[in-house]
Structure 1
Amino acid sequence: MANLPAHIKDLLSDLVARYRAQVDYLAIRLEAAEGADILLRGNKIETLSEGISIGGQVRACHKGGWGFASFNQLATLTERIEEAISAARLVGDEETLLAPIPTIQDTCILPLTGTDPRQIPLADKKALCQHYGEILRSVSSKVATVSVRYGDSAQRMILVTSEGTLLEQSWVDMEMRFAATARNGETVQTGRETTGSRKAYEDLVGLDAQVRSAAQRAVDSLALPPVKGNTYTVVIDPILTGLFVHEAFGHLSEADMTYENPDLLEVMSLGRRFGPEDLQIFDGAAPVGHRGSYYYDDEGTPASTTQLIQDGVLVGRLHSRETAGKLGEEATGNARCLNYHYPPIVRMTNTWIERGNTPVQDLFDGIQEGVYARNWLGGMTNGEMFTFAAGEAWMIRNGEIAEPVRDVTLSGNAFKTLADIEAIGDDFFWDESGGCGKGGQSGLPVGCGGPSLRISNVIVGGEAI
């Protein structure tokens, strides 16, 4: 890890004490990070790098106005503090409303259960990427292009605030992404797999079967008929459930999306029913071992678990201290920043739908014609509207899984889709592959989870009828 100066905590505390009287709130977040990044495309390594950085940010709030400054030279810290304070005082003209949180004095490290990736030579990481690339290419001569991406990062964060918080937190995160594109004439299909961990480098090793399946799906899909576009009852697997709850509902639960949007705030009013009585949705960094887990967020708020939907009814939302203060609610520990270049904003952590009571095989009962969709290729959301592409899919006929199909996209309105959940499976899976983007901060580690779901009236795009 990049070395920070001795007595750095004393230095930051002294600076905060010197300037705290000039604003309502002042925080300095210092970060030391190191990591590796590898990209293999085709049979060529295009990126192979290791990096170390030290930097930080200053946030000041005065009469509701925020000033922000980032730095990567400690010698300029005094100037950056004065810049942030000047900006806050220039724009502030209302009232500073920050939900109260405990004053924290703590040092914590998210524990690894296996090997730290920093102990693995870069050459070994490169060899691992090449090994997976060879597997992708070896599946078929129809595989036209492949890519393997590896990334790891270790971060140490120190936070000092004018309220007396002095917090140090460290963690390690790892991720790999695999893709294979197969071609047969004009027909092109892609298979993807992604995995991540905050536990051990070993979680990225021995993934041969998973990697091979990505390429095999792409090749197999070349010969499949496109699905006939229509409105169907669908059954989705836990991976798609996790993607749905994160993208289509989770972002709408982030309070900075609502407190400045009266129309959305009215739609997302607490106490409103959104789904069946057995629907439970949560978000929280408190569950240990997931990619969105931590002890404190980037404002020093302790991690928690927030129930968003209880028995089908909206009962909570995700907050920073400012959004909680403005809405008169409690801070939930969801203020996160990708790194020191960005201020913390409201972000999801680990988001999941709780498992239900319906045996998975019973989810298909009574469906005369429907679609079973698994895994994901990609997707997009626009407010409450979503479109996701399934990684693989089959028709459902007379309550049974039938022929496989390709080019399956699932579209709809998040609120209507929640209301159309007909049954919740008794299975559950955590997907640790998430890298969330928002407000220009892309790749923030998150976890998603859930059971299989049966949903009626889903628009399935494919070949026109």
Structure 2
Amino acid sequence: MPSLLVDAKNLLCDLIARYRSQVDYLAIRLEEAEGTDIFLRGDKIETLSQGISIGGQVRACYKGGWGFASFNQLSTLKERVEEAIAAARIVGDEETILAPVDPVQDIVKLPLTGTDPRKIPLSDKKALCDRYTEILRSVDKRITTTSVLYSDSAQRIFLATSEDTMLEQSWVDMEMRFAATARNGDTVQTGRETTGSRKAYEDLTNLDAQIRSAGQRAVDALALPPVKGNTYTVVIDPILTGLFVHEAFGHLSEADMAYENPDLLEVMTLGRRFGPRELQIFDGALPPGHRGSYFYDDEGTPATTTQLIKDGVLVGRLHSRETAGKLGEEPTGNARCLNYHFPPLVRMTNTWIERGNTPVKDLFTDIKEGVYARNWLGGMTNGEMFTFSAGEAWMIRNGEIAEPVRDVTLSGNVFTTLADIEALGDDFYWDESGGCGKGGQSGLPVGCGGPSLRIRNVVVGGEAG
């Protein structure tokens, strides 16, 4: 990777020293990134690229107003600093409130446990995608469309601030996504799988069974009856639990959303009960080895583990230094940006529900008629409302898993749904497939986890009953 970042270290320090007196806070972040992107739709190559990018950003704060400028030529850095400062001084008319953090002087690298993808030839990565495409297509002749996406990215950042933080941090991230669409007349069904890693290229090379399962699910669903729409007691698997806790609850825990929305801030009052006493929800970049893990966020705040719900009660939320300062709470190290084009926002890292005590088989006990849902096809949230599509599902009859069904969507209000959790399984699974979107920054790596859950009164969409 180029060494411009290191060579520019003295320049950043000089500029910080020269301009720090003009604003309340000044930060310069440089970034070097290199990566590979491959996207195959059937036999067609839609993307096949390797690239290196070098750039940076300047953030300045004056009387509570923020100025931001990004650049990809170091020769223009002085001008960008002056632009960010000018913008901040134009809009600032209140008070700069940033929760205090200790200055950091550190060099850190997220460790790999296996092969660095940068050591793998592009031809080998393309061959891997070809092999997975062939696996999807070979499942059944009714599979009409396949897609395989591969991406890897190595990032190295240097952060210097007017508070004497000088931080260098680097990591490697990898992701693959697969989809197969099967058709029988007017009936169309899709199976999907996604996986990711910050540990080793080998984590992407032995996915044959997982990929074949995606294709088989699409084919099998063609012959399944649609679920009858109704309100059911539902059991969801750990992957859906991870999706639920991230999408439906995690975003509401991001303090910038609450601070900017007084009604939501009132709803998300610390000390309010949201679920059963067994419910524990966490977010944090501190647990190692996950896709949302790091040592410091993009403001130089050390990674933490933040408990959001303790014994069913809301006890915490996720912060940048600004939201923590304005709400009088501690910063949590959740200010993240996708790359140098964007300013840091309050973002989740690894979000999970702690495992419970109920054996998974007992989650089904006494359910006369319900639905068991696994994996996911997609989903959307709108404030506190959510809708998720299950990757596969079965009816539950008299406490037993019965016939499979298709077109299962789960909808509800997140606060009502948390309160309706009846039991938490004693299993747990980390899903490393997440690419989170917020504020125009899509694809930020995150981790999600949790146990199987039993939830009453879930609206399940399908054919009218």
Cα contact 1:140–1:219 (8 A) shared by 2: yes
**CA-based RMSD:** 0.5
Residue number in structure 1 paired with 2:281: 281
The share of aligned pairs that are identical, in percent, is 83
Residue number in structure 2 paired with 1:200: 200
Relative to structure 1, the CA distance from residue 397 to residue 6 in structure 2 (aligned partners, 3 Å threshold; closer, same or farther) is closer
The residue correspondences of 1:155-174 to structure 2 (distance < 5 A) are 155-174=155-174
Residue number in structure 2 paired with 1:406: 406
Counterpart of 2:329, as a letter, is: E
Q: Which of structure 1's runs of 4+ aligned residues deviate more than 3 A?
A: none
Q: Take 1:33 and 1:85, find their aligned partners in 2: how far apart are those partners?
A: 26
Cα contact 1:2–1:53 (8 A) shared by 2: no
| TM-score (ref. length: structure 2) | 1.00
Counterpart of 1:425, as a letter, is: G
What's the CA shift for 1:7? 3.4
Residue number in structure 2 paired with 1:383: 383
Counterpart of 1:458, as a letter, is: V
Structure 2: gaps spanning 5 or more residues? none
Residue number in structure 1 paired with 2:427: 427
Relative to structure 1, the CA distance from residue 47 to residue 358 in structure 2 (aligned partners, 3 Å threshold; closer, same or farther) is same
What's the CA shift for 1:10? 1.5
Q: Take 1:64 and 1:194, find their aligned partners in 2: how far apart are those partners?
A: 41
CA deviation vs aligned residue, 1:327-365 (integer Å, no higher than 9, x gap):
000100000000000000000000000000000000000
Residue number in structure 2 paired with 1:73: 73
CA deviation vs aligned residue, 1:387-428 (integer Å, no higher than 9, x gap):
000000000000000000000000000000000000000000
What's the CA shift for 1:8? 1.8
CA deviation vs aligned residue, 1:15-35 (integer Å, no higher than 9, x gap):
101000000000000000000
Cα contact 2:5–2:31 (8 A) shared by 1: no
Q: Take 1:44 and 1:22, find their aligned partners in 2: how far apart are those partners?
A: 54
Counterpart of 1:321, as a letter, is: R
Residue number in structure 2 paired with 1:211: 211
Cα contact 2:280–2:311 (8 A) shared by 1: yes
Cα contact 2:5–2:158 (8 A) shared by 1: no
Counterpart of 2:449, as a letter, is: G
The residue correspondences of 1:97-176 to structure 2 (distance < 5 A) are 97-176=97-176
Residue number in structure 2 paired with 1:51: 51
Residue number in structure 1 paired with 2:315: 315
SS in structure 2 of the partner of residue 258 of structure 1:
helix
Counterpart of 2:123, as a letter, is: A
Relative to structure 1, the CA distance from residue 463 to residue 28 in structure 2 (aligned partners, 3 Å threshold; closer, same or farther) is same
What's the CA shift for 1:6? 5.0
Q: Take 1:114 and 1:2, find their aligned partners in 2: how far apart are those partners?
A: 23
SS in structure 2 of the partner of residue 69 of structure 1:
strand
Counterpart of 2:433, as a letter, is: S
Counterpart of 1:237, as a letter, is: D
The residue correspondences of 1:317-356 to structure 2 (distance < 5 A) are 317-356=317-356
| TM-score (ref. length: structure 1) | 1.00
Q: Take 2:101 and 2:118, find their aligned partners in 1: how far apart are those partners?
A: 34
Q: Take 1:5 and 1:407, find their aligned partners in 2: how far apart are those partners?
A: 50
What's the CA shift for 1:3? 2.9
CA deviation vs aligned residue, 1:188-236 (integer Å, no higher than 9, x gap):
0000000000000000001100000000000000000000000000000
Is the aligned partner of 1:89 residue 2:51?
A: no
- Number of aligned positions between the proteins: 465
CA deviation vs aligned residue, 1:272-300 (integer Å, no higher than 9, x gap):
00000000000000000000000000000
Q: Take 1:163 and 1:5, find their aligned partners in 2: how far apart are those partners?
A: 20
CA deviation vs aligned residue, 1:250-278 (integer Å, no higher than 9, x gap):
00000000011110000000000000000
What's the CA shift for 1:121? 0.3
Residue number in structure 2 paired with 1:358: 358
Q: Take 1:397 and 1:4, find their aligned partners in 2: how far apart are those partners?
A: 64
Q: Take 1:363 and 1:173, find their aligned partners in 2: how far apart are those partners?
A: 36
SS in structure 2 of the partner of residue 141 of structure 1:
coil
Q: Take 2:249 and 2:305, find their aligned partners in 1: how far apart are those partners?
A: 16
Q: Take 2:427 and 2:294, find their aligned partners in 1: how far apart are those partners?
A: 26
Relative to structure 1, the CA distance from residue 234 to residue 5 in structure 2 (aligned partners, 3 Å threshold; closer, same or farther) is closer
Residue number in structure 1 paired with 2:185: 185
Counterpart of 1:131, as a letter, is: R
Structure 1: gaps spanning 5 or more residues? none
What's the CA shift for 1:450? 0.1
Q: Take 2:9 and 2:321, find their aligned partners in 1: how far apart are those partners?
A: 23
SS in structure 2 of the partner of residue 112 of structure 1:
coil
Q: Take 1:448 and 1:241, find their aligned partners in 2: how far apart are those partners?
A: 8
Residue number in structure 2 paired with 1:21: 21
Cα contact 1:129–1:149 (8 A) shared by 2: yes
Counterpart of 1:305, as a letter, is: T
Is the aligned partner of 1:450 residue 2:450?
A: yes
Q: Take 2:2 and 2:448, find their aligned partners in 1: how far apart are those partners?
A: 31
Residue number in structure 1 paired with 2:11: 11
